[in-house]
Structure 1
Amino acid sequence: MINRILFLMFLMLAACKPDPEKDLFTEVPSSHSQINFENTLQDSKTLNALDYMYFYDGGGVSAGDINNDGLPDIYFTANKGPNKLYLNKGNFIFEDITDKAGVSGNSDWNTGTVMVDINGDGLLDIYVCAVVGILGFEGHNELFINNGDLTFSEQSAQYNLNIKSQANNVAFFDYDKDGDLDMYLLNEGKHSAESFGPASNRFIISEGNGDRLLRNDNGKFIDVSKEAGIYSGVNSYGLGVAVADFNNDGWDDIYVSNDFHEDDYYYINQKNGTFSEQLKSRFGKVSRYSMGNDVADINHDGFPDVITLDMMPEEEQFSKSTLSDNDIKYHKIRANLGYSPQFARNMLQINQKGDYFTEIAFYSGVEATDWSWAPLLADYNQDGELDLFVTNGIYRRFNDLDYLKTYTDLATKKNISASRLYDQKALELMPKGAVHNYFYKGNSNLKFEDKSGVWHKNTPTESSGAAYADLDNDGDLDLIINNYNAKPSILKNNSKNNAFLKLSFNAPTKNKFALGTKVIAYHKGQLQFRQLYTSRGFQSSVEPIIHFGFAQEKEIDSLLIIWPDNTSELFKNVKTNQTLVIKPSAKRQIVNYATLFQTNKPWFKKVNDTSFLNINHVENKFSEFDTQTLIPYKVSTQGPAFAVADINNDGKKDLFIGGSTRVEANLYLQNNDHIQLLTPSFFKEDALSEDVDAIFFDADNDGDLDLMVISAGNEFHRKSEPLKDRLYINNGKGKFSKSMDALPIYYENGAFVRTNDVDKDKWLLGEEFRTNSGSEPNGIRSMKSPKDPPFFHSDTYLHPPATWNTQIPHARGGVMNYWFYLLSEGSSGTNDNGDSYNIQPIGIEKGADIIYLASTVYFTALV
């Protein structure tokens, strides 16, 4: 008893231990920083959010050292101006030099900004985007060329970059490998009849809101969008652009986030001045309202991964009152119109060696951050793992369901129409949308730990553009955030104990800052990968440096620098806690990407057997979402069942492939050089059943393999014949006949069948959760005595929790629902013996492994 008390006291003390990274960031007050900029906007009768859907999106920020004094400076855009440039004086004190520098801007509506050395003179210039041509907005994108004396000259016309469009931001990169910087122009969308048409409308050129690729020809930027394969269509809704070499072939590619129904774009560089858009073949799904994005290697394999943000709230209150995904009919319409699957949440796409991407946001815990704008992946705590910062919030929530219900009321619409789409009361109906920004700590297992409120206090804001930079030159990354109707947030990074390595570059080309350079840091058998690009997040650009964190390491094994021309050089035994300025040496070597980024050899090879071409699963069209609106996922498409065994004792494996409802199953025999469909088929009479699992085993102990097929499907109702499972008896020569009396009469939504070899006569059936029939799952049934009823019911438990609900699909066996919940989520209470328990959560994945073993090994041995 004393030991138990001491143990509990130890746990309590451990729980009270403060987080060693508490207050990793401290906000620098404007009274100290002297940054008094504010992006101030108010709804008016001539311009408001009912007229312009991007009215509340906010402004951007760019960071970089404009005077080469070693301290990064800051430029902010204000939607209605003026923009502001602040010179870093050290110690987080800044001087407003906007007027002196001549960079306030003259456009009516400003958006994104990028610092870039566009003319290769070693001085950072400033490019500012503008929305022009709608709502009376005048102006053009502006290019401020650095004169080297803290003054700038607006020269966009000389470079052919005085573009008039609905620009959101740009990305500079050398896509054609000629040594200078080209530009991708990201444009916002505009609703129209054509923009809501089929996906093929992206080929209808739009001068106002179609994206553009501009090639740098000796200082003149030429629009090459059409010949390069870039979509410039009427359904472009660009809100984020990232550049990276996604497939590690030495040529940089492009990822574009699009708002609303338009797919994101994934452009692969073809090395000949053109791009191939490949989103549909490389991504399974994307965010629906894709906002800002970022690209970085999260899992240390040398291939850049992608994160896109959306508007899925974390808090239950907003989750239930927010317009999110449409019903299944909308998704079918989208598919018919040529679009890819979309879902209204953040997406974290893991790059699988350049071949395809696996989406893991739910697994990683970053799927819901509310109305989010800028994701910035960087190692903020310098422990060697990438962390995530997300800006958040909007002045008013357009997608609030209560507001939409009122706003779409006929009387309300009539009043708004009578006043030119402006009605102060109508705007006031929109609830406010201030939300705290998110901080996530990265871990080595692809999981992110929410550190919001720990690394920095949770203050509701309306933040949009953001950038990171080492503002005080102490080696860690600070944050600059452009807020809506408020002064910017300058967050000082207080990381003290962990080591860093900071790199900048000086190249002898027009690409002076060497944008596109890759750096691989090797240490103790692990690698960290970075690529230098500054356009990140939303409407913003970061300081043009590469930053690594190395925890407590004083020295790393080596650094591999891969320059934009695909030459490389290796530095060994590199000390940490230093800043290096690297120039290309004469001893560079050409990179062999096939050797450097080796991919695993495939475990399987494709067999060119034309017999397999006849095997094609056909799924029936049925959607249970129409009648069961709260069902979490479809249970009518759980097939096809598949089983392999030698059924005719010829030494070759044969195949059973189940069918969906109204499609008969098939059995294929393997011959010397091909497979052959067994005819006539004895499954035709059971074609109405949906086959979800099957297994070959010796059911009658006669030495040959019989076949058990499990039936399911939400298409059927109570006591429907197609829900009956089936046992087919083998006559020893591969000919099967259906056994009519071996199974009890029950009508259940099956899930799986398993066997074991304890007595050679025991097998189990597991049932899925509730179907249209309204019947409850009966858990697991033993087939040692197959006509006995299922015995693992909830009423066999001594103290079943009041909240136990077998309809929740935590596991496919209803008997294990609560077990799975306890293991994955954790809980406390009283067990069957009356003793108290406190179970710590181990997560869904580990819990699923345990439940799977229970259902396939441990339980089977007890029956």
Structure 2
Amino acid sequence: MMPAAVLFVLFCLVFSGCAPNNDLLNLTVPASVQVEQFNPETGPCDDQFITHDLPHITTTADGIIRMYEANGSGVAINDLDNDGDLDLVLGNYDKPNSIFWNEGDLNFRQEQMPVGRTRAVTAVDVDGDGWTDLALTRVGGAINFWRNRGDDLAAGVPGRFVQEFVNGLAKPAYAMDWADLDADGDLDAVTASYDIGLLTELGNEYLLRDEAGVYIHWNEPGRFRAQRLAEEAQALAIALWDEDGDGRLDLLVGNDFALPDQFWRNNADGWQLASIFPETTHSTMSFDLADVDNSGRTALFASDMKPPDMNPETMRAWAPLMEAEHPPLPAGDPQRMENMLLVADQGGGFQNLGRDRQLDATGWSWASLFGDLDQDGRLDLYIVNGFAESTTFAHMEDHELVERNQALRNTGGRFERMPDWGLGSERGGRGAAQGDLDGDGDLDIVVNNLRGNAQLFENRLCGGASLQVELRQPGSSNPAAIGATAILETPDGRLRRDVRVTRGYLSSDPGQLHFGFPAETQPRLLLVRWPDGKWSTVSSPAPGQRLTVYRTDLGQK
């Protein structure tokens, strides 16, 4: 622990206000640190990503992609067997889902799960036993829960996941997220339906059930209790973050088509619907949240559909869609058919900097993920593109709009397209996730494609250094510290990362926080804000390491 006076100064630097010294002392808690060195590089860097195909193809029953089948499935990255390596879970539509167990050096052992028709894939420790569970959303159904029985492995019992019914998780769900929303220490769930898909799948049954919309599922002893916030949704994305800085996570639901996105503030007296953005995406596909300029302000990126250029060939491909699906919006409608980067301004509102930062037009965009891919201290952006559907694109070969994925390098004020990074796949991806899959310290990427092999992009860029941080709360019902924040103080400024479950489109990243920075950088201090608002510090963390920070004041469960 650091002296309270030093902590006080640092808190004042990071936040706009300061607590009295006595209050500050009550906010600090002890922590221990486990240090692990990164794996050495196996060869010289290539200054690009290397593509590896995975034996998993998300497809439909007859290979014909119909409307809403075209939405594809997500992917999750997490350590499922507690061996220190990150494993993969890829959803599928017609075929079984796949688990890829990481056996080191980018070698994976595939195991099929006896379930398909999957949309969202999240890897999260729901029951707080220290083993990461799987929660899936499925076409026309509720959350499909698979409990990780990892504690049985030591006894030699085969099978890691057991499908279980969870009392109260019964509402139709397409998008979901998990966090402690009532500060009671355990994880609650947020789900939202995709109503047009439900109507197509269930017909009159969907209308009679009247169960669609947005729900909070409160985690209570032996069950989840559902609270309905909205009766309709066309949700492809959910984001949870503390928008107003009151210590409670607020909720944003991103809707497809003309239904506006919906934002609720988590107030002391309940959830309140609010309008906070001057502009929003029209058909919101995905969200990601990050401090993109290292200013301490969280920015929201929302992906949508907009041609990536004005070339005649591009416009011919897009023209039938633009005419059929997107008539002009009425005057005063805040929705725009383009990507947006919504950044908090000094007046307490938001401004859209998407066009200014050259992020507004990247194609038919699905997953969008921030990450410091080149380890220069600035968060880059990776966007997955493409669409296939038998009627909308009947004029195209294979009924597919073929577009490249986009890697955009953060240059400190603008985002520059980086085709030389080797991330411009044209396979029609949907869900995507990031994580250090080979243990060498940088971020690799996995994309779940539709009608083509899933891909793992191994990061072989040159330059930079990194520090990874995992946060643990032994004795808590939230042992992975979902909702915590880590701030790394460097000579060049502060880097912030948040522990979240869901990112991008229908996918989830591990809680392993990645801080990239120039090779000569020597970090000064790591500050950890735990989910309950308490703080711990780690002095002078060294580059090239993975730190596991254990909170030590909670005891053992």
Smaller-chain TM-score bracket: 0.7 to 0.9
**Mapped contact 2:61–2:94 kept (Cα < 8 A):** no
2:369–2:381: 8 Å Cα contact kept in structure 1?
Answer: yes
Residue 121 of structure 2 is aligned to residue 113 of structure 1? yes
Paired residues of 2:68 and 2:197 also in contact (CA < 8 A): no
Query: What's the CA shift string for 1:270-294, capped at 9, x where partnerless?
Result: 134x222223xx2111111111111
Q: Is the 8 A contact 2:264 2:273 kept in 1?
A: yes
1:303 CA displacement: 2.5
TM norm structure 2: 0.82
Distance 1:115 1:457, change over 3 A: closer
Instruction: Specify which of 33, 55, 61 is matched with residue 36 of structure 1.
Output: 55
2:177 pairs with 1:209:
no
For residues 348-427 of structure 1, the aligned pairs below 5 Å read 348-352=341-345, 355-396=348-389
Amino acid at match of 2:51: E
Which of the residues 392, 402, 405 maps onto 1:437? 405
Work out whether residues 405 and 423 of structure 2, in 8 Å CA contact, stay in contact via their aligned partners in 1: no
Does the CA contact (< 8 Å) of 1:245 and 1:304 recur in 2? no
Shift of 1:158: 3.5
Tell me which of 45, 65, 83 is aligned to 2:79.
65
Q: Which amino acid aligns with 1:300?
A: N
2:547 equivalent in structure 1: 580
- Counterpart pick for 1:347 among 337, 340, 344: 340
2 CA distance for matches of 1:568 and 1:394? 45
Q: 1:185 to 1:457 in 2, by over 3 A?
A: closer
Aligned-residue offset at 1:327: 6.2
State the SS of the aligned residue for 1:306: strand
User: 1:178 aligns to what?
Assistant: 184
Alpha-carbon distance in structure 2 between the residues aligned to 1:171 and 1:491: 25
Measure, in 1, the Cα distance between the counterparts of 2:134 and 2:209: 26
Give the counterpart letter for 2:407 in structure 1: F
- Paired positions, count: 491
The residue number in structure 2 matching 1:555 is 522
For 2:73 and 2:197, how far apart are their aligned partners in 1?
21
| Structure 1 unpaired stretches of 5+ | 1-19, 133-138, 194-203, 404-427, 588-863
| C-alpha displacement of 1:156 | 4.0
Offset, 1:140: 4.5
Q: Deviation digits for residues 299-344 of structure 1, max 9, x if unmatched?
A: 222232111111101132333543449666x414xx5xxxx51111
Q: 1:518 maps to which residue?
A: 485
For the 8 Å contact 1:309–1:373, the answer to whether it is kept is: yes
Quote the Cα distance in structure 2 between the aligned partners of 1:74 and 1:429. Answer: 32
- Letter aligned with residue 382 of structure 1: Q
Aligned partners of 1:141 and 1:156 also within 8 Å: no
- Relative distance call for 1:354 and 1:443 in structure 2 (3 A) is farther
Residue 235 of structure 2: aligned partner: 238
Instruction: Answer yes or no: is 1:458 the counterpart of 2:424.
Output: yes
Residue in structure 2 matched with residue 220 of structure 1 by the alignment: 223
The separation in 1 between residues aligned to 2:61 and 2:208, in whole angstroms, is: 34
**One-letter amino acid matched to 1:223:** A
- 1:439 is displaced (CA, Å) by 0.1
**Retained in 2: the 8 A contact 1:554–1:575?**
no
> Does residue 295 of structure 1 match 2:289?
yes
Instruction: Flag the 1:170–1:584 CA change in 2: closer, same or farther, 3 A.
Output: same
* Contact kept in structure 2, 1:113 and 1:169, CA below 8 Å: no
CA-to-partner distance for each residue in 1:629-662, whole Å, 9 max, x for gaps?
xxxxxxxxxxxxxxxxxxxxxxxxxxxxxxxxxx
Could you say if the C-alpha distance between residues 502 and 243 of structure 1 is closer, same or farther in structure 2, counting changes exceeding 3 Å? same
Alignment partner of 1:488: what SS? Answer: strand
In the TM superposition, residue 509 of structure 1 has moved relative to its aligned partner by 0.8
Which position in structure 2 is the counterpart of 1:104? 114
Shift, 1:399, TM fit: 5.3
CA shift digits 1:367-417 (9 cap, x unpaired): 1111110000011111100000011111238656x95xxxxxxxxxxxxxx
Distance 1:91 1:243 in 2: 34
Q: Which has the higher contact order (CA 8 A, sep 6+)?
A: 2
Distance in 1 (alpha carbons) for counterparts of 2:464 and 2:245: 30
More strand by share: 2
Identity across aligned pairs (percent)? 27
Q: For 1:632-781, what aligned pairs fall within 5 Å after superposition?
A: none
* Other-structure match for 2:39: none
Structure 2 distance, partners of 1:239, 1:155, is 25
Classify the secondary structure of the residue corresponding to 1:467. strand
2:483 is the alignment partner of 1:528: no
Query: Offset of 1:120 from its aligned partner?
Result: 0.7
Letter in 1 for 2:403: V
Q: Is the 8 A contact 2:502 2:509 kept in 1?
A: yes
* Deviation digits for residues 706-744 of structure 1 (CA, Å, limit 9, x no counterpart): xxxxxxxxxxxxxxxxxxxxxxxxxxxxxxxxxxxxxxx
Q: What pairs with 1:800-811 in structure 2 (closer than 5 Å)?
A: none
Cα contact 1:131–1:164 (8 A) shared by 2: no
Secondary structure at 1:371's aligned position in 2? strand
Task: Confirm or deny that 1:169 pairs with 2:183.
Answer: no
1:256 maps to amino acid: V
Distance of aligned partners of 1:459 and 1:62 in 2 relative to their CA distance in 1, 3 Å threshold = closer
SS of equivalent residue, structure 1 residue 318: helix
Root-mean-square deviation (CA, aligned residues, Å) is: 2.6
Q: How far off is 1:499 after superposition?
A: 1.1
Q: CA deviation at 1:259?
A: 0.5
Secondary structure of 1:454's aligned partner: helix
Provide, for residues 825-859 of structure 1, a one-character-per-residue CA deviation record: whole Å limited to 9, x for no partner. Answer: xxxxxxxxxxxxxxxxxxxxxxxxxxxxxxxxxxx
Residues 301, 75 of structure 1: CA spacing in aligned structure 2 closer, same or farther, 3 A cutoff?
Answer: same
Q: Is the 8 A contact 1:553 1:576 kept in 2?
A: no
SS in 1 for 2:342: strand
Once the 2 structures are TM-superposed, how far is the Cα of residue 21 of structure 1 from its aligned partner? 9.2
Contact 2:490–2:521 under 8 Å retained in 1: no
Listed one character per residue, the Cα deviations across residues 555-597 of structure 1 (whole Å, up to 9, x for unaligned) are 212111100000112222221221010112459xxxxxxxxxx
* Counterpart secondary structure, 2:438: coil
Q: Moved runs in structure 1, 4+ residues, more than 6 A? A: none
Unpaired runs of at least 5, structure 2: 1-43, 200-206
Aligned pair 1:285/2:279, yes or no?
Answer: yes
Quick one: which of 271, 286, 296 aligns to 1:275?
271
What's the TM-score once normalised by structure 1's chain length? 0.54
Distance 1:584 1:192 in 2: 43
Q: Which residue in 2 is equivalent to 1:144?
A: 146
1: CA distance between counterparts of 2:187 and 2:62? 39
